[in-house]
Amino acid sequence: MKDHIVIVGAGPVGLVSACLLVDEGVSVTVLDSCNDLPRDLRASTFHPPTLDMLERFDVVPSMIAQGLICPEWQFRDRTDGVIATFELDRLNDETAHPYRLQCEQWRLGEMLCERLRKSPLADLRFGMKASAVRQTADHVEVDAVNAQGETETFKGAFCIGADGIGSQVRKAIGAEFEGMTIPEIYLTVSTTYDFSEAMPDIANIAYLSDPDEWFVLIRTAKIWRALFPVDSGLSDSEVTSPELIERLLQGAAARPEPYEIIHKTAYRVHERVADKYVKGRIAIAGDAAHVNNPLGGMGLNGGIHDAYNLASTMVEILRGAPLDALGRYERQRRRVALDVVQQTTLRNRAILNTRDPASRAAYYDDLRKTVADPERHKTYLMRTSMISSLRDVAQIV
Ligand SMILES: Cc1cc2nc3c(=O)[nH]c(=O)nc-3n(C[C@H](O)[C@H](O)[C@H](O)COP(=O)(O)OP(=O)(O)OC[C@H]3O[C@@H](n4cnc5c(N)ncnc54)[C@H](O)[C@@H]3O)c2cc1C
């Protein structure tokens, strides 16, 4: 129990934490309420420093083989075309991966699970829902319930709550999840249609601004994904109705034949950050600690950066550092969630949906000036690729 950590949640954040800990010789139990890893379509963007971090698990070559390297991304005006194209090779001196990689997050999850299954230090327990978390001065206890309703208690030196947006662990430490819910629903659809036929100068990742109906187009290895904001007054069946999807896609690129849809999902988006990340020996990370809109691909990446910081801090404590080193984790990673992730994703949303013509023109002007100036271009990429945030918060003690 002394060198054992209980992780609640086998999403990307829980699994990255587990891999890092077992590599440092710390045993883990990972509990997940699902019976197996879900293969649903969620995040697919991996930023450069996240790939640098994942390199040590030998998963990046396989992610690249299954994914799509995107050396550029764009802001476009829906009517007038390209506003600004950002070139990630300007980060060549800063990262081993100067590009965004598009690869569905479940692919990473499956690779990390496979790696953990081979480790004698990892105990993966699917179908176990954490129902209570408590602690004493020197250990934690997590109660988890299986499908038959039987409760088992898991003990460890620490508990990591990587149990997503509805986190039980966040509730157990008494944290408020402060923030707001975005008024529109986000609809993601994937299609076999190649949008570069309609927009030959489109980058693999493009944010298309429009005062009435903005959208995002992202290419993965085999298909394109489109994200549209949808009126939250519609019923669940209306939001994903074939008629609405066809209308939105025809609006994005008109074509004589109907679109072939591979997948669709609609979800509510929140901008929230927990008012505390740590209580004693229990800490939260990833979506359990902060959620944001997906415009910029920062939620999953920020969560993996949390996992690195948190797991490394727990290893330091197990090797003799004081328990309050966890306070540094909270100070550093909460600052990134508030000042970088939330600010950047909200600004991206504003660039896409601002109605006032003068404000739109000002955003466009700023983006054009940013890409035209090599120093500003690189600074912008350092921030949006989340390299700066990792370096900046290292100064916070
Ligand atoms: C539909 C959808 C679409 C998304 N699309 C995008 C996107 O396009 N771009 C983007 O950047 N981000 C997107 N996101 C967000 C992104 O997927 C998350 O930021 C990321 O998954 C966070 O990882 P995590 O490990 O913190 O949490 P999760 O991936 O949510 O994993 C949490 C895990 O905890 C488990 N769990 C929960 N409660 C318990 C419990 N009590 N006991 C045991 N286990 C529990 C769950 O089963 C789950 O496996 C999307 C999210 C959703 C839901």
Task: Dump pLDDT digits (tens) for 264-298.
Answer: 999 999 999 999 999 999 999 999 999 999 999 99
Superfamily the domain 4-70+102-178+274-393 falls into = FAD/NAD(P)-binding domain (3.50.50.60)
Helix (H, G, I), strand (E, B) or coil at 257: coil
Phi, psi of 4 (to 5 degrees): -120, 140
Q: pLDDT at position 40, please? A: 80
Evaluate if residue 239 carries a pLDDT over 80: yes
Evaluate if residue 140 carries a pLDDT over 80: yes
Minimal-distance CA residue to ligand 1 atom 27:
164
Q: What residue has token string 């921030």?
A: 383
Give tens-digit pLDDT for 56-85: 999 999 999 999 999 999 999 999 999 999
Q: Once rounded to an integer, what is the mean pLDDT over residues 190-204? A: 96
Distance 212 CA to ligand 1 centre (A): 30
Q: Once rounded to an integer, what is the mean pLDDT over residues 112-127? A: 98
Chain-centroid distance of CA 189 in Å reads: 18
Minimal-distance CA residue to ligand 1 atom 51:
42
Give tens-digit pLDDT for 142-159: 999 999 999 999 999 999
Helix residue ranges per DSSP H, the chain: 12-23, 48-54, 60-66, 105-117, 168-172, 236-239, 242-252, 299-318, 325-336, 342-353, 357-372, 374-384, 387-393
Q: Once rounded to an integer, what is the mean pLDDT over residues 336-362? A: 92
Q: 29, 156 in Cβ contact below 8 A?
A: yes
Q: pLDDT at position 3, please? A: 86
Q: Once rounded to an integer, what is the mean pLDDT over residues 76-103? A: 97
Superfamily the domain 180-270 falls into = D-Amino Acid Oxidase, subunit A, domain 2 (3.30.9.10)
Distance 78 CA to ligand 1 centre (A): 30
Minimal-distance CA residue to ligand 1 atom 44:
32
Minimal-distance CA residue to ligand 1 atom 50:
42
Q: pLDDT at position 81, please? A: 96
Q: 128, 145 in Cβ contact below 8 A?
A: yes
Q: pLDDT at position 87, please? A: 98
Q: pLDDT at position 236, please? A: 84
Percent of the chain with pLDDT over 90: 92
Distance 265 CA to ligand 1 centre (A): 14
Q: Once rounded to an integer, what is the mean pLDDT over residues 166-189? A: 96
Rounded to an integer, what distance in angstroms lies between the CA atom of residue 259 and that of residue 255? Answer: 8
Rounded to an integer, what distance in angstroms lies between the CA atom of residue 383 and that of residue 355? Answer: 26
The residue count for the chain: 397
Q: pLDDT at position 189, please? A: 96
Q: Once rounded to an integer, what is the mean pLDDT over residues 320-346? A: 95
State the span(s) of the chain assigned CATH 3.50.50.60.
Answer: 4-70+102-178+274-393
Helix (H, G, I), strand (E, B) or coil at 102: strand
Q: Tell me which amino acid residue 183 is.
A: P
Provide residues with CB under 6 Å of ligand 1.
Answer: 8-14, 31-34, 42-43, 45, 105, 129-130, 162-164, 168, 265, 267, 286-287, 294, 297, 299-300, 303
Q: pLDDT at position 214, please? A: 95
State the span(s) of the chain assigned CATH 3.30.9.10.
Answer: 180-270
Distance 209 CA to ligand 1 centre (A): 27
Give tens-digit pLDDT for 15-34: 999 999 999 999 999 999 99
The residue whose CB lies within 8 Å of the most ligand 1 atoms, and thus the one to mutate among 29, 32, 220, is 32
- Work out the mean pLDDT of the chain and round it to a whole number: 96
Q: How confident is the model at residue 165 (pLDDT cuts 50, 70, 90)?
A: very high
Output the six-digit token pair for 32.
């997940």
Q: 155, 141 in Cβ contact below 8 A?
A: yes
Distance 287 CA to ligand 1 centre (A): 6
Q: Once rounded to an integer, what is the mean pLDDT over residues 221-250? A: 94
The residue whose CB lies within 8 Å of the most ligand 1 atoms, and thus the one to mutate among 112, 287, 310, is 287
Q: Once rounded to an integer, what is the mean pLDDT over residues 204-217? A: 95
Q: pLDDT at position 38, please? A: 82
Evaluate if residue 39 carries a pLDDT over 90: no
Helix (H, G, I), strand (E, B) or coil at 303: helix
The strand pairing partners of 29, in sequence order, are: 6, 123
Distance 8 CA to ligand 1 centre (A): 12
DSSP letter assigned to residue 339:
I
Nearest atom in ligand 1 to the alpha carbon of residue 34 is 47
Evaluate if residue 341 carries a pLDDT over 70: yes
Q: pLDDT at position 41, please? A: 78
Q: Once rounded to an integer, what is the mean pLDDT over residues 238-250? A: 96
Q: pLDDT at position 93, please? A: 97
Evaluate if residue 86 carries a pLDDT over 70: yes
Distance 165 CA to ligand 1 centre (A): 7
Distance 11 CA to ligand 1 centre (A): 6
Q: pLDDT at position 1, please? A: 62
Q: Once rounded to an integer, what is the mean pLDDT over residues 340-367? A: 92
